[in-house]
Amino acid sequence: MSEIKKKEGFADNLPERHRSGQFWSNLFRISTGVGIVALIALLLNITNSAFGYVAIENRIDPESLAINGIPLEQLHPIDLTYILKQNVSAGYFRNLENEMPFEQRTREEIYDLVIERVVEPEAASTWSLFDSLFHKSEIQAEVAEKYPNADLHFTSWINGNFLVSPQSANAERAGVRTAVLGSLWVIFITLLFAFPLGVGAAIYLEEYAGDLWINRLIQTNINNLAGVPSIIYGILGLAIFVRALEPVTSGAFLGTMDPTTANGRTILSAGLTLGLLILPLIIINAQEAIRAVPSSLRQASFGLGATKWQTIWHHVLPNSIPGILTGTILAISRALGETAPLVVVGASTFITFDPESPFSKFTALPIQIYQWTSRPQAEFRNIAAAAIIVLLMILLSLNAVAVVLRNKYSNKL
């Protein structure tokens, strides 16, 4: 190297330039690292609460309910009904009988009732995954001392039952069914409203709108709307859909009002509100996808004597639809995670019935998670963590679909 002479008029600063490059590259590596650590901490935190030991204490020891040495699990329905009658109030028993006579109920049903109403298992205490893995003996000692009758076992709070059970006041029996169905209904309305409107607006802005000041103003506003805090959309939705359009959003205009809702705090209102929220996102994404269609295709089409609409319908839309769908999916996953606007629009705090129409009361996954985390009992934090995992799974699968779509079509043109 030494024979390469320093050039006249240029400073000999190459090592210095390399050093400065090294500095920046290290800085970027650190920021990436911080991000990854934060992500891992988040995932660990959730898993930590979603799995772990739980000590179950029964009000009545099931063994004491054995008849003639036959354990509870194997008892005949008639014996189970007898146990139930002995242990619950006469009024409650009559209610059950009125709902459905016991002769017609299956053995499992009656057995579940006995467990739920007589044995009454309760989580006396729960432990995090970390404690369960690394302090097992301490936990066992603690249980032996504090809850001598309790049954200690390892549980996954996210399980089949959790996915299909409706909301309940009892954390062990509560599930995400109501919330997941609510979220799906709301998102369906959101999509129905925002997708055609957003794509239509994008086509207009990209293909038809001239370079007029009014169109530029609209474009600027759409870009700004995409950044408006979501709670503002909630307030807007409350004013428009819940209050002003109540006859429509409550279903009164169809005469199909849900008896449980006497106002516009319905799935329809929530869906439309989230639709407003993601409308700018869908428009901007669709515009980008439309802009990415090469102008040579448009020229080829016009050059053959196609009209503008034929060009849009046959070339612009088919070639931009993967991009439009990708953007829409990402917008939908944003809407799925939104909590604040739904609170403002009036998500129900406690419903156990499946939503049945756009005019039903609703709750949604993030709302459910928020409510569970704010409950004082520790078990609710465990099921909140389980619900977060459900939400994350839904979001991740949506994003995976978006990525697949993008990869599948990105190299087609």
Partner 1 sequence: MTENNINSYAIEAKDLNLYYGETLAVRDVNIQIEKQKITAMIGPSGCGKSTVLRAFNRMNDLIPSAHANGSVLYHGKNIYEEDVDPVEVRRRIGMVFQKPNPFPKSIYDNVAWGAQINGYTGNMDDLVEESLRGAALWNEVKDNLDKSGLSLSGGQQQRLCIARTIAVKPDIILMDEPASALDPIATLKIEDLMQELAKDFTIIVVTHNMQQAARVSNFTAFFNLGEDYAGVLEEYGVTAEIFTNPKKKTTEDYITGRFG
> Which residues are at the interface with partner 1 (CB under 8 A)?
210-211, 294, 296-307, 310, 314-315, 319, 412-413
Nearer to partner 1, 221 or 310 (CB): 310
**Which tokens is 8 given?**
């006249």
Q: Least distance in Å: CB of 401 to partner 1?
A: 22
Sequence length of the chain is 413
Closest distance between partner 1 and the C-beta of residue 298, in Å? 7
Whole-angstrom CA distances from 126 to 122, 131, 325 are 11, 10, 43
User: Could you tell me the smallest distance in angstroms from the CB atom of residue 37 to partner 1?
Assistant: 44
| 173 Cβ neighbours under 8 A, 6+ residues apart | 116, 165
Which segments of 210-300 are extended strands (E)? none
Q: Which is nearer to partner 1, 5 or 412 (CB)?
A: 412
Shortest Cβ 324–partner 1 spacing (Å): 16
Report, in Å, the least distance between residue 289 CB and partner 1.
15
Query: Which residue lies nearer to partner 1 by CB, 293 or 369?
Result: 293
Cβ distance to partner 1 smaller for residue 309 or 350:
309
Residue 142: HSE in the Cβ half-sphere, 13 Å Cα cutoff: 15
Shortest Cβ distance from residue 314 to partner 1 (Å)? 7
d(CA 398, CA 345): 25
Q: Which is nearer to partner 1, 302 or 380 (CB)?
A: 302
Least distance in Å: CB of 171 to partner 1? Answer: 55
Q: Which of 249, 383, 405 is nearest to 332 (CA)?
A: 405
15 SS3 class: helix
* Distance of alpha carbon 87 from alpha carbon 405, whole angstroms: 58
Burial 135-147 (b: 16+ CB within 10 A, else e): eeeebeeebeeee
Work out the angle at residue 311's Cα, subtended by the Cα atoms of residues 284 and 303, and round it to the nearest 5 degrees.
Answer: 130
| Residue number, 311 or 368, with CB nearest to partner 1 | 311
Please say which residue, 26 or 310, places its beta carbon nearer to partner 1: 310
Q: Which is nearer to partner 1, 301 or 360 (CB)?
A: 301
Give the Å distances, CA to CA, from 261 to 243, 245, 254, 258. Answer: 14, 15, 14, 5
Which distant-in-sequence residues (6+ apart) come within 8 Å of 401 by Cβ? 329
With b for 16 or more beta-carbon neighbours within 10 A and e for fewer, the 12-46 pattern comes to: eeeeeeeeeeeeeeeeeeeeeeeeeeeeeeeeeeb
Q: Which is nearer to partner 1, 99 or 211 (CB)?
A: 211
Q: How far is the CB of 328 from partner 1 (least distance, A)?
A: 22
In the bound state with partner 1, the residue whose beta carbon lies nearer, of 39 and 300, is 300
Cβ atoms of 267 and 360 within 8 Å: the answer is: yes
Q: What's the min distance (Å) between Cβ of 405 and partner 1? A: 16
Q: d(Cα 142, Cα 13) in Å, to the nearest integer?
A: 67
Q: Min. distance of Cβ 273 from partner 1 in angstroms?
A: 37
Element (H, E) at 51: strand 51-58
Contact 299, 306 (CB under 8 A): no
